Amino acid sequence: MTLAFLTVSLITLASLMWWASSSGRVTQQNELFTTAEAAAEADTEQVVATLDRDWTYGQTLQAASVYAAMIPPQTNPWGSWPITFQFSDGSNNNNLTGISIGVETYTNQLGSTFANLAGYFQPCTITSKATALGQLYNVSATVQEQVNANIIPLFQFAIFYNMNLDISPGQPMNIGGNVFCNGTIWMWPYAAMVFSNNVDAAGWVTNQMEPYDQQSSSGYVAPTYLEVGQPVSRVDTLTLPIGTNNNPAAVESIINLPQGTNAAPNPQAYTTNGQIYLFNESDLVISNSIAGTNGTQGTNITVWFQDNLQASAFTPVTNDYYALKTGGSTNVIANANGIDSPTNVSYKSYTWVTNVSFYDYRESDTVQAVQVDVGKLNNWLTNTAKTGGNSINQTSYTDKGRGINSIYIYNNVPLTQLQLPAVRMVNGAQLPYTTDPGGSGRTTSGLTVTTPQPLYVKGNYNVQTAASAAGASAGTANTAYTYPGGLMGDAITVLSANWSDTYNSGTSLSSRPPTSTTLNAACLEGIVQSTNVGSSLYYSGGIENFLRLEENWSSSSTLTYNGSIVVMFPSIYATNFWQVPGNYYNPPARQWGFDLNFTSPSKLPPLTPKMYRITRTGWTDY
């Protein structure tokens, strides 16, 4: 019996020893696997971080072989890894990381991170296998990550603010698209607001009044969110790729004259990085000079056609105005005070571009504007005469695969305390529509206008197509009869067709009655942010005053706007604070909405800015 009990005890002890040894081996192997998994993930994360840098700031990915050669260094100035690993690409190729970069594809849904947004994505798969070396057990782990390199057109958003977003409308507003803010959304509406899609903020979405709002309204009405789980605070920021500095002041450079080698016609201007500057992308560049002719100082206008596939990237456009007087080509016109201004000159060298002067009541300045007549521009683009634009349009079709659809305007009139350089668009009911003069059958429709200065629009803008009845989209939310249109500038002011340039500083608000006006275009601009100066509070005007006004609007005069509202930077030229109604304007009945055409890539405005973002879609270990 003693021997039997001893035998059982020995067997039990042996079993316990075997179990302990086996468990120890499993534990060691598990620990090695976990360590190898962390090493493999370090490898894939290094590649993901590099992809993110290249995509976000460079708008392009390098060749797959560049990323494949990226292996984590296992020694550094602070020491060495406690375990050495052999890295491979998951297909037994040592000292390489597996990388697959797919084909860029358009999708109507970019995924949960950007719900309800369409755009382009490039799928990337990164694979790394890490095998522990010099250990008791031969253990390896493989990690695979999937990411998408996304391109998000900025005008996919109904509202996008790169700064704080103030919302305090006194009229009902329905926001029919995504809203995104890189700052805080201060929301204190005192009328019904309905948000149909996502409302996201990198800061907070707060139902509090903007601290600097001087209105002190107590009539708060809670907004309605139709999407579940909205609004969302503390999301990742979305920024335009302006180098590594994406603060609002730096982003203003996209509409300004690019500097150094980034400026056209330098070769760098036509690279991916150079094309973030709208000056480098535009088909026509319009500017003026302070020095005039025949001893007269004035803003003589010149137009250039930009095409980097030509021997010279900038080609001066021959003027098409035949009524120039012999011995002189300028007309000095009186400013608002009846005095000939040396910087207020109508240079009649083009039928569709001239100079005008009028008064801005918010800025308390005389505006000296370069004015583009869109209707006459349409005629010029199809004019086959020697000085018409048809031949330039054909060159654009041949080299770019499309006709002229974008204009950049820089007004060299100096900014002073009493003078504001600006740009104005008139007669814009129908935007350009041209067919390839070479007979390919390709058509180009739409127009984007960019200026670093304030931008004014007079009368209905983009309310009909070539085939539609006059004003077919005026006063409605129906944009089926519009072309892709974009307006980008320091500030955007709408003037009704009733506006008169004879208005001066003495013209009362009651003497400036408007007529109902429709604007169909994506608008990117700057604003004067909410702030305080001493004991005075100054509200930005909020989303409800995104479009600046100068007339005595009322409930009987409607401002219809269909587009995309984008604020990217503080205004630099038009910097006077918003004032409550009754000072320089009274509000209209607002009929505003997001243009659903912008959810289709073929219907986005020319030169639509794009944001680049890497998003994660999958992670696997085995």
pLDDT tens-digit readout, 572-618: 999 999 999 999 999 999 999 999 999 998 899 999 999 888 999 99
Specify burial of residue 17 (Cβ count, 10 A radius: 0-12, 13-18, 19+).
exposed
Cα–Cα distances (Å) from 28 to 14, 22, 34, 105, 147, in that order, read 21, 10, 10, 45, 32
In a domain, 377, yes or no: no
Cα distance between residue 458 and residue 470, in whole Å:
17
Cα distance between residue 29 and residue 64, in whole Å:
33
Cα–Cα distances (Å) from 167 to 181, 192, 444, 547, 580, in that order, read 12, 12, 37, 14, 15
Cα distance between residue 42 and residue 49, in whole Å:
10
Q: Which has the minimum average pLDDT: 60-69, 184-193, 297-306, 584-593?
A: 297-306
The chain-wide mean pLDDT, for the chain, equals: 88
Looking at the structure, tell me whether residues 53 and 192 fall in a common domain.
Answer: no
Domain boundary among the residues 151, 178, 199 is at 151
Q: Considering only CA atoms, which of 176, 177, 199, 173 is closest in space to residue 186?
A: 199
Determine the pLDDT at residue 22.
66
Tokens matching residue 166: 């103030």
Looking at the structure, tell me whether residues 159 and 146 fall in a common domain.
Answer: no
Determine the pLDDT at residue 23.
65
Compute the average pLDDT of residues 351-365.
94
Confidence band of 290 (pLDDT split at 50, 70, 90): low
Cα distance between residue 43 and residue 369, in whole Å:
56
In our burial notation (b when 16+ CB lie closer than 10 A, e otherwise), range 289-314 reads eeebeeebbbbbbbbbbbbbeeeebe
Task: Give pTM, 2 decimals.
Answer: 0.87
DSSP secondary-structure letter at 100?
E
Cα distance between residue 70 and residue 91, in whole Å:
16
Q: Are strands 485-488 and 522-527 parallel, antiparallel or unpaired?
A: parallel
> How many distinct structural domains can be found in the chain?
2
Looking at the structure, tell me whether residues 135 and 42 fall in a common domain.
Answer: yes
In a domain, 336, yes or no: no
Looking at the structure, tell me whether residues 109 and 186 fall in a common domain.
Answer: no
Domain boundary among the residues 125, 151, 177 is at 151
In a domain, 88, yes or no: yes
- 321 contacts: CB under 8 Å, gap ≥ 6: 348, 349, 350, 351
Looking at the structure, tell me whether residues 177 and 110 fall in a common domain.
Answer: no
Q: Residue 222 is part of which domain span? A: 155-238+454-605
Do 204 and 234 form a contact (C-beta atoms < 8 A)? yes
Whether the per-residue pLDDT at 292 is higher than 50: the answer is no
Determine the pLDDT at residue 328.
35
Specify burial of residue 411 (Cβ count, 10 A radius: 0-12, 13-18, 19+).
buried
Looking at the structure, tell me whether residues 468 and 533 fall in a common domain.
Answer: yes
Looking at the structure, tell me whether residues 461 and 593 fall in a common domain.
Answer: yes
Looking at the structure, tell me whether residues 460 and 517 fall in a common domain.
Answer: yes
Tokens matching residue 444: 């180009």
Sign of the CA dihedral with 161 first, then 164, 167, and 168 last: negative
Looking at the structure, tell me whether residues 588 and 470 fall in a common domain.
Answer: yes
Looking at the structure, tell me whether residues 526 and 593 fall in a common domain.
Answer: yes
Residue with the larger pLDDT of the pair 222 and 244: 222
Determine the pLDDT at residue 559.
97
Cα–Cα distances (Å) from 93 to 71, 85, 96, 339, 363, in that order, read 12, 14, 6, 80, 67
pLDDT digits 0-9 by tens, 166-212: 999 999 999 999 999 999 999 999 999 999 999 999 999 999 999 99
Specify burial of residue 244 (Cβ count, 10 A radius: 0-12, 13-18, 19+).
exposed
In a domain, 522, yes or no: yes
In a domain, 383, yes or no: no
- Amino acid at residue number 303: V
Cα distance between residue 262 and residue 231, in whole Å:
39
Stated length of the chain = 622
Alpha helix positions (H), 214-283: 248-251, 278-281
- 164 contacts: CB under 8 Å, gap ≥ 6: 181, 183, 184, 185, 186, 203, 210, 529, 530
Tokens matching residue 503: 């208005």
Q: Are strands 119-132 and 140-153 parallel, antiparallel or unpaired?
A: antiparallel
In a domain, 309, yes or no: no
In a domain, 529, yes or no: yes
Looking at the structure, tell me whether residues 108 and 202 fall in a common domain.
Answer: no
Do 455 and 486 form a contact (C-beta atoms < 8 A)? no
Q: Are strands 365-373 and 353-360 parallel, antiparallel or unpaired?
A: antiparallel
Specify burial of residue 374 (Cβ count, 10 A radius: 0-12, 13-18, 19+).
buried
Backbone angles phi, psi at 428, to 5 degrees: -105, 30
Looking at the structure, tell me whether residues 140 and 184 fall in a common domain.
Answer: no
Compute the average pLDDT of residues 527-533.
95
pLDDT > 70 in the chain, percent: 92
In a domain, 395, yes or no: no
